[in-house]
Copies of this chain bind each other. A is one copy, B any other.
Amino acid sequence: MLRVGIIGATGMVGQRYISLLQGHPWFTVTAVAASASSAGVPYEQSVKGRWQMIEPIPEGVQNLVVLEAINVEAMAKACDFVFSAVEMPDKEMVKKLEESYAAAGLPVVSNASAHRWTTDVPMLIPEINADHTKMIDAQKKKRGWSRGFIAVKPNCSIQSFLTPIHALRAAGYDIDRLAVTTMQAVSGAGYPGVASLDMIDNIVPYIGGEEEKTEKEPLKILGQIKKEAFVLADDITITAQCNRVPVTDGHTACVSMGFAKKKPTREEILKIWRAFVSVPQKLQLPSAPLTPIIYLDEDNRPQPKKDRNREQGMAVSVGRLRECPVFDFKFVGLSHNTIRGAAGGGILNAELLVKQGYISA
């Protein structure tokens, strides 16, 4: 068993990590860290009245005394690698914090956005770009780190559509433009997060920074590594409109897609999606969904409440594939934003890194 630490353990994503890691076959939580104001008391006490998961706090974690996140040394003793679920507003501070962990010899598997555009840090969705982890070698070399490194996952909003898009591109159909409108769950904003006054009889057509991330992050994920540098995908353009809706968990995306040259038929698309498996499935990673893309035939699916938990919240549910009068095809995608789109995605990243040898005891 690898010993796992969680930085930002008291926030929503940190809680989800702790909840999902219960019973994990490879990982066991041995250290939790948070800001100074939450540190110094048992975990159970530090989240009193703030624990948002349906399941109770796992017994092994209840009594872990919360360390201060800046106490890297103590964390380095207590675990083999860390998940970073840090939610500090100052990105530079997050960057430095994560770097200090890596420098101390700890692999950092991060959900934070701070390092997503750092030139030597891979941004991973294992079904799409598992090979991007090789940038870690360059990163270590450049930084002079022997064991530690930083790998990140992208924003939760893009999980609902990017794997289906990748599946088609990987099959030789060059999608070159996407129009995406998301309807995003409130858990994406943490707790307390979105005010109930804004979500009763209302939606909010704006989430700060979300559209930019949705338009740009896919370009790195779909890109390639050449000469130890990321080359962004320059053959696809994305426009995004991001909305907050009164749903607890599950981001929905309405997507129109256009093909550069060869355009598949509806049947070909369905066949590709239904047959799609990738590295996590082939490596049989513990958290990998058996069916990463689930196509639902009903007219009115996917729906957040009914479909977000498919494959333990790790699948992308897709439906309503039909021709688009302006682009070529349109469809609706859905994923669980705090599982696939956050902690579950981070755990899958860590599993990949273990299997590839980047993380070990």
Contacts and interface: CB of A to CB of B under 8 A. Distances in A.
A322 to B, nearest CB: 9
A332 interface: yes
Contact of A196 (B179, B196, B215, B243): B196
Contact of A326 (B49, B179, B195, B330): B179
Contacts of A201: 200-201, 246-248, 304-305
A247 B183 CA distance: 13
A45 interface: no
Contact of A306 (B54, B186, B194, B245): B54
Number of copies: 4
Interface in A157-182: 177-179, 181
Contacts of A215: 325
A205 B49 contact: no
A202 B192 CA distance: 15
A243 B254 contact: yes
Contacts of A299: 49, 206, 208
A360 interface: no
A74 to B, nearest CB: 30
Contacts of A192: 192, 195, 197-198
Contacts of A302: 205
A332 B206 CA distance: 10
Interface string A189-233: 001111111111111111010000001000000000000000000
29 contacts: A48-B298, A49-B298, A179-B256, A179-B326, A179-B327, A183-B203, A186-B197, A186-B200, A192-B195, A192-B198, A194-B197, A195-B196, A197-B248, A198-B303, A199-B199, A199-B200, A202-B303, A202-B305, A203-B304, A205-B302, A206-B299, A215-B325, A238-B325, A239-B324, A239-B326, A241-B256, A241-B332, A243-B252, A243-B254
